[in-house]
Structure 1
Amino acid sequence: MGQPSNLLLKLSRRLFSEERDRDAFVAALTTPQAFPSALLWVQPRPQVVPFAIAPPLAWQPAWVDRLSGDQRPGRHPLHQAGAYYCLDMASVFSAAVLGAIAAPVESVLDLCAAPGGKSLLAWKTLAPTQLWCNEVIHKRVRILISNLKRCGLTEALVFNLDPQVFAEQLAHGASIVIVDAPCSGQSLLAKGDAALGCFHPVNIKKNAGRQKRILASAAQTVAGNGYLAYMTCTFSPEENEQVAAWLIKKFPQFTAVEVPALADYASPLVSFPCYRLWPQSGLGAGGFTVLLHNRADTAAAVNLDLLTAKGLKIYSSD
């Protein structure tokens, strides 16, 4: 067991009022564990699933299986055939807010899409007519396209654009916008991965600033009566509740939406509805999620031709 840093201990005191909860949180991050994988079925589930399946959770979609024990679904022929996508249950938790939206929807834009799990979850949950997947980091675009292609999303469009371009050229044009934001990645520690400087105030402040910039563009892209889903894989309030509160203040047409399936996971740090999965739960490495509704009656301005006219390359997943 690694020794907790003073910054981690300080964070635990901010997050939990009870000492036992602080100790459990710190232990989860300093003693990494292997979390069981989940399968997102993009093809019909076979009558006999070749894996040991754990009981479903209240917020788990019917087309997701939670595996039990140490299994390797990524090595099975069904994976190569595109029958399912492997992901962490923390990702399923974050995307569970999408279940509070009535399906089908016209369009979904995933602004930080690679490697593709949230896009696939949105596609299964919301059955959008249009699915737009954006990844700012160029080297990750190929991974995103490969995963979408393997899973059969050949009609999805993949972009490699700054989020501000969508705010300008797709203003109020997306029914749903997903921001799985780049963050300090504190939950990576629970899986034994490296996240250097993840508790340092300078790093946290830098990430919060980047998240706000992305969300400001996202807010301008959401159609009237549409939704913005914001999520991270970190624990600092500066990157989670405080960022969501900032967005609600800056864009008062947005209000946080209650998600009944996640009621037991409501954050105790703010009065508006948002949700946290803790690493000590044993369900996943942890994360934060909130669903925001755009109450404004704003006309859409969808014009993909303008994006191509600007000379910005659009990749099709086919």
Structure 2
Amino acid sequence: METPSKLLLKLSKRLFKNSDEQAKFIEALINPKPFSPCILWCQNKAENLPFILEEPIPWQPNFIDRLSVGVKPSQHPLHEQGYFYCLDFSSVFAASTLLEINQPIQVIFDMCAAPGGKSIFAWKLLQPELLISNEVIGKRLGMLISNFKRCHIIPSIVVNRDSSIFAESIPASSDLVIVDAPCTGQSLLAKGEKAPGCFHPSAINKSANRQKRIVANSAQIVAPQGYLAYITCTYSPEENEEVCEWLLKKFPQFQAVKISHLQNYQSHLTTISCYRMFPQNGLGAGAFTALFKNTDKSDKQVLDITNLSTIWINMYGNEQLKSEVS
């Protein structure tokens, strides 16, 4: 095994008290092994499945399949035809908090949507009347729109604005807001990819501050009795548990939702109900996830879908809605 950096060693000791777990975590990042690819069925499953499937996890949604290691589902014709979307099982784990939602969801707003996996998961699971997916980084919009068109994700709108604009213009408008927050991306290492500087304190603190800003704006557009999902693909507590603790202090009307099927993944770094997957478990590169409910029971005016559509036109103009894919 390569010699781990001092910063990685320091992080491993913060995450795990057990030295064996520390070593397994470091090994998973320095010498990554392939994980089983996953597919999310956007349309009905093919009668004769073209892939060899792994045994499903007990809580795994029926529209998700785990495939044998080495299979490349994106090369299959069904992928090009929009039958399924390819994703890492860590994304399935992170989005599975939405399985705890047991009320009708009319409007879903995905604040950091590209390339689209969490949006598509929520759309398939909850069948909203409208899916709004925002991506502030312009060069990532094409990928998001392409995936939605290929997978026939309707009715949906793709937009490209800073989170602060939505906090001001459409407060209390969405039954579910998803924040798959931009982060240092430490789990990329477990996939064999690069994430330069991902363990450096300055990068972590910069990322955490950006996450707090985004999650604060996102909290303001959650309707009374609605939900806010917070997700990252990194390991640092500053970007995960500490952001959740900050959220609950700033917005005391929110409460963390206990996710029954993820109890074995409960983070030991906080008393808040939030959950972690680590790469040494062998299921995926890693993720952090938490679901919060807005317990506000006030009679605040919640925007209906017609008004939301009108706001999009007023904010951006018809020409700006070229990214609408419904």
Give the aligned residue type for 1:306: I
Runs of 4+ in 1 over 4 A off after TM superposition: none
Which structure 2 residue ranges, 5 or more long, are not aligned?
Answer: none
Give the aligned residue type for 1:185: G
Quote how far apart the aligned CAs of 1:33 are.
1.6
Quote how far apart the aligned CAs of 1:139 are.
1.0
Aligned residue runs from structure 1 range 77-116, under 5 A = 77-116=77-116
Alignment match, 1:316: 324
Quote how far apart the aligned CAs of 1:306 are.
3.0
Aligned residue runs from structure 1 range 137-152, under 5 A = 137-152=137-152
Deviations 1:48-67 (A, max 9, x none): 21111000012311110001
Contact preservation (8 Å) 1:188, 1:195? yes
Contact preservation (8 Å) 1:146, 1:317? no
For residues 123 and 310 of structure 1, the distance between their equivalents in structure 2, rounded to whole angstroms, comes to 24
Deviations 1:161-181 (A, max 9, x none): 111111111100000000000
Give the TM-score normalised by structure 2: 0.95
Aligned residue runs from structure 1 range 287-306, under 5 A = 287-298=287-298, 299=300, 300-301=302-303, 303-304=307-308, 305-306=310-311
DSSP 3-state at the match of 1:310: helix
TM-align CA RMSD: 1.1
For residues 101 and 114 of structure 2, the distance between their equivalents in structure 1, rounded to whole angstroms, comes to 23
Contact preservation (8 Å) 1:204, 1:238? yes
For residues 18 and 311 of structure 1, the distance between their equivalents in structure 2, rounded to whole angstroms, comes to 53
Give the aligned residue type for 1:316: E
Contact preservation (8 Å) 1:97, 1:259? yes
Give the aligned residue type for 2:233: C
Contact preservation (8 Å) 2:37, 2:88? yes
DSSP 3-state at the match of 1:175: strand
Identity score, percent: 50
Deviations 1:227-248 (A, max 9, x none): 0000000000000000000000
Alignment match, 2:47: 47
For residues 311 and 62 of structure 1, the distance between their equivalents in structure 2, rounded to whole angstroms, comes to 38
For residues 303 and 47 of structure 2, the distance between their equivalents in structure 1, rounded to whole angstroms, comes to 44
For residues 59 and 111 of structure 2, the distance between their equivalents in structure 1, rounded to whole angstroms, comes to 24
The count of aligned residue pairs is 318
Alignment match, 1:122: 122
Quote how far apart the aligned CAs of 1:47 are.
2.0
For residues 77 and 301 of structure 1, the distance between their equivalents in structure 2, rounded to whole angstroms, comes to 41
Quote how far apart the aligned CAs of 1:131 are.
0.6
Contact preservation (8 Å) 1:154, 1:316? no
Quote how far apart the aligned CAs of 1:103 are.
4.7
Deviations 1:277-311 (A, max 9, x none): 00101100001000001001242135432343233
Alignment match, 2:237: 237
Contact preservation (8 Å) 2:89, 2:284? yes
For residues 252 and 103 of structure 2, the distance between their equivalents in structure 1, rounded to whole angstroms, comes to 25
Contact preservation (8 Å) 2:34, 2:69? no
Which structure 1 residue ranges, 5 or more long, are not aligned?
Answer: none
Deviations 1:63-121 (A, max 9, x none): 10001221010000000111100000000000000000015311100000000100000
Deviations 1:225-277 (A, max 9, x none): 00000000000000000000000000000010000111110000101110000
For residues 134 and 2 of structure 1, the distance between their equivalents in structure 2, rounded to whole angstroms, comes to 40
Aligned residue runs from structure 1 range 151-162, under 5 A = 151-162=151-162
